[in-house]
Amino acid sequence: MTFANTLTASRLIAVPLMLLSAWQRERGWFAWLLGYALLTDVLDGSIARALGQDTAFGARLDSIADAAVYLTAPVAALYVYPRFREHEWMTVVVILLSYVIPIVVGYVKYRRLTAYHTVAARTAGVLLGLAALLFVTLGVTWPVRVGATVLVLSAIEEIAMTVVLPDWCPNVRTMAHALRMRSAATRS
C-alpha cells in the first residue's frame, strides 16, 4: 500500500461519510468531505507518478474511488440541497448515465473497470469539482451543466475506446492513443 494508494483509499472511505452527512443534512460536513474527495482525486495520481508508485492496482483503485465519489456526490447533493434538486435533477441524471454507461460497456467487454483516466474525463472531473464547490459555496448551478456536457463527451470517447481496444489496458489518455494501441496490436 503506497502513499498514493492510501490517499485513494481514504477517498473511498469518504463516500459513506458523504452519504451520512447528506442524510443528516449536514451541509458543512458534506461540503468538507466532497472537497476532500475532490482534492485527493487531483493529488493521488500526481503523487503516484512523482514517487514512481503508479501501478495497475492503483489505477483500478482510483477508478473505483472515482466511480464511488462521482456517482454518490450528485445524488447526495440532490438530497442535502433542495434548491439543487429543484433545478438540476435532470443534470444529475445525465451525470449518472455518463458514468454508468461507460462502466457497463467496459465491464461487458473486459469484466472490469476500464481505468482509462482520459484527458476528457480529467477535464470533466475538474469542471464538475469546481462546479460543485461553486454551488456549495455560492449557490451557482450553471457550471454543473458545463461540466456535465464535457462529461457526456468523455463518456462517448470512453465507449469508443472500449470498442476499439482489443484488450484491457489502464491509463489510455485519448482516443488517438487507443487507435495507435489497436494498430500496434494488429501489426503484432
What pLDDT is recorded for position 67?
86
User: Is residue 1 classed as helix, strand or coil in its secondary structure?
Assistant: coil
- Domain 3-187 CATH (choose: 1.10.1760, 1.10.10, 1.20.120, 3.30.420): 1.20.120
How many Cβ atoms sit within 10 Å of the Cβ of residue 149?
15
Query: What is the identity of the amino acid at 3?
Result: F
Give residue limits of the domains in the chain. 3-187
- pTM check: above 0.85: no
How many Cβ atoms sit within 10 Å of the Cβ of residue 3?
12
User: Is residue 119 classed as helix, strand or coil in its secondary structure?
Assistant: helix
DSSP-assigned states of every residue in 122-161? HHHHHHHHHHHHHHHHH---HHHHHHHHHHHHHHHHHHHH
Q: Are 122 and 92 in contact (CB under 8 A)?
A: no
How many Cβ atoms sit within 10 Å of the Cβ of residue 128?
22
What pLDDT is recorded for position 84?
81
What pLDDT is recorded for position 82?
85
What pLDDT is recorded for position 115?
84
Query: How high is the mean pLDDT in each 10-residue block of the chain (188 residues)?
Result: 92 96 93 92 88 87 89 88 85 93 95 90 90 85 94 97 94 94 86
